Structure formats: C-alpha cells, structure tokens
Copies of this chain bind each other. A is one copy, B any other.
Amino acid sequence: MASETPIDPPPELPPTLLDLSSYLLSRIGKAARGRLADRLAERGLRLWDMAVLASLADFGPQAQRDLVRRLGLDPSDLAKVVEQLAVAGYVERARDPADRRRVSVSVTGAGRALLAELDAQARVVQDEVLAPLDVGEREVLQSLLLRVHRGLGERRSGP
C-alpha cells in the first residue's frame, strides 16, 4: 500500500479545541508538568518534593501541618515526602518544644542547594516550552497567569 506520501503530513488538531484557552492551558500545562517531572525523576524526585523544599526555603521551618495546609496535599502523603527528603538529607525534622505533637521541618544546606538546581532545571524546561515567545511576551504571560492563578478557588491538590 502507498496511498499516502512517505512522510506524514502534520496532523492538525481540531480548531474547535484550539479555540478554547482552557484546552490550550490544559495541554500546555500538562506538557510543562510532564517535562519537569521527567527532570526530577532523573534524581528520584517528584514535584511534591520540590514544592516542599520551596515552601521551607521561602517561609522557613514549619510544622507538617502548615505544609499540608499551604500546599494542599494529604497529611499522610506529606509524611512520606518529608520522610524521603529527610533520609536523603535535604530536610531535618525536630519535635516542636512548644507543642511536642508537632514536627518542625526545616531545609538543610544540601536542601537549599538542591532546590537551586531544581529551580534552574525548571527554568530550562520553561525556556523549552516558552521558546516561541520573546522576553517581553513571557513577562506578559507570567503576569496574566499569576492573576488567573490567584483567582482559582484552591480546589484539590496539585504540586
């Protein structure tokens, strides 16, 4: 059979879908997430690990309880993430002397170094994804996205 040219013509997606910003958002978001997740996976990390490190670096030591509320993931799952990070030496856990039920989590130097690397990786991915846009356009996009994000009613989780 040879009813077709040797090289497949670029298959176009339905305009009905491409017209929807929400579709593009979903698709591009998935691509961005996937690529970053791949990078992290090379180090045996997941997106949540980065989120936790970022939260600790940005806001200082916190109880797991606070991380749970801030990041919106299941307490049980957070415990596992923190456990891994602690074993790897990226965070330290200590009983809060004021309320000894709580475990205060803090980043270590290694954790900060790791986060810096991960952030760099994330920006590489971002450069790939946003390649078609120039610097000015990327800033516009960033500010629009930031406003959209603030408007989201915080439902469910997502690293």
Contact = CB atoms under 8 A, between A and B. Distances in A.
A31 B148 CA distance: 11
Query: Taking chain A's interface residues, is the majority helix, strand, or loop, or is none over half, making it mixed?
Result: helix
A42 interface: no
A23 B59 CA distance: 18
A28 B148 contact: yes
Interface residues of A, number: 67
Contacts of A8: 69
Which of A35, A138, A158 has most chain B Cβ within 10 Å?
A158
Interface of A: 3, 8, 11-18, 20-36, 50-51, 54-55, 57-59, 66, 69-71, 99, 115, 119, 122-123, 125-126, 129-133, 137-138, 140-142, 144-152, 155-156, 158
30 contacts: A11-B69, A14-B51, A14-B59, A14-B70, A17-B50, A17-B51, A18-B146, A18-B149, A20-B126, A21-B138, A21-B145, A22-B125, A23-B122, A24-B146, A25-B28, A25-B29, A25-B32, A25-B129, A27-B158, A28-B145, A28-B148, A30-B33, A34-B155, A34-B156, A129-B151, A129-B152, A132-B148, A132-B150, A141-B141, A141-B148
